[in-house]
Chain A
Amino acid sequence: SAVISQKPSRDICQRGTSLTIQCQVDSQVTMMFWYRQQPGQSLTLIATANQGSEATYESGFVIDKFPISRPNLTFSTLTVSNMSPEDSSIYLCSVGLSDRPTEAFFGQGTRLTVV
C-alpha cells in the first residue's frame, strides 16, 4: 500500500498569484498523477508526473499553467499559476504502485478557492 501526504489541505488565494501543492508518498511508486475536480464535476486528469523528465499533460492542460515537478520516486509538486476564480477546484495527487493495473491511492486533496 501507499500513504500519501498532500499539502496544503486547503487554501484561499488571490487571483494572479500561484500556489504549489506537494504530494509526498511513504514509498517509492512508479506512477504519480495529478487530477482536478471542479465544483460538481468528476475528476479530470491533468498530467502524469514522470520522474526525471517533463510531465505528460492531457488535452486542455499546459505546462505554463500547471508546472509539475517530480524529482524522485516519492515526491511531486503541482503549481497552479496565475490563478483565476475558474481554477477553484479540488486538486488530488494519485499514485499507482506499478505500471500494471493496481489499486489506486489518493491524497486527501487540496481545496483551492481563488478570490
Chain B
Amino acid sequence: KNEVEQSPQNLTAQEGEFITINCSYSVGISALHWLQQHPGGGIVSLFMLSSGKKKHGRLIATINIQEKHSSLHITASHPRDSAVYICAVEGRTGGYNKLIFGAGTRLAVHP
C-alpha cells in the first residue's frame, strides 16, 4: 500500500462545477503539500498545510490530522484548472522537505 493515496485518479468536470480531490496518508507528517503539474511537467506549489484550512482564490485545502486526510476543493472550475493535482507529505522523520508524493489526480475541465 502506498504511503500517500489520492482519489480519484482521473476526474472530468464541466466548467463551473465544484471539484474535490482527496488525499489519505499513512505516515506521521510535519506538513502536507498540494501541487499542480502542467502538461509540460513543471510543478507549482498550491498549498502547504499542517492543520486546518487554507484558501487561495477559488482553491481551498483542508487537512484532518487525526484522520490523516486532506482535501483540495476547486470552486467554479474553469478549463484552465485542467492539470494534474498532486498531494505530497513531508515526513516527521528523514528530514524536512523530503516529500512523499501521491500518484496525482488528472483533472480535465470542459467548457
Contacts and interface: CB of A to CB of B under 8 A. Distances in A.
Contacts of A31: 96-97
A103 B43 CA distance: 12
B50 interface: yes
Given A101-B30, A102-B48, A107 B42 contact: yes
Interface string A88-115: 0010101010111111111111110000
A104 B48 contact: yes
B41 A37 contact: yes
Given A96-B96, A101-B97, A104-B48, A42 B41 contact: no
Interface residues of B, number: 25
Contacts of B95: 48, 99
Chain A interface extent, by class: 20 to 34
A53 interface: no
A96 B98 CA distance: 9
Interface of B: 4, 30-31, 33, 35, 40-45, 48, 50, 86, 88, 90, 95-99, 101-104
21 contacts: A33-B98, A33-B99, A42-B4, A42-B104, A43-B88, A48-B98, A96-B97, A98-B96, A99-B97, A101-B31, A101-B48, A101-B50, A101-B96, A102-B48, A104-B33, A104-B45, A104-B99, A105-B45, A106-B42, A107-B42, A108-B40
Given A37-B41, A101-B50, A107-B42, 10 more contacts: A42-B101, A43-B99, A45-B98, A92-B43, A101-B90, A104-B88, A104-B99, A108-B41, A109-B42, A109-B43
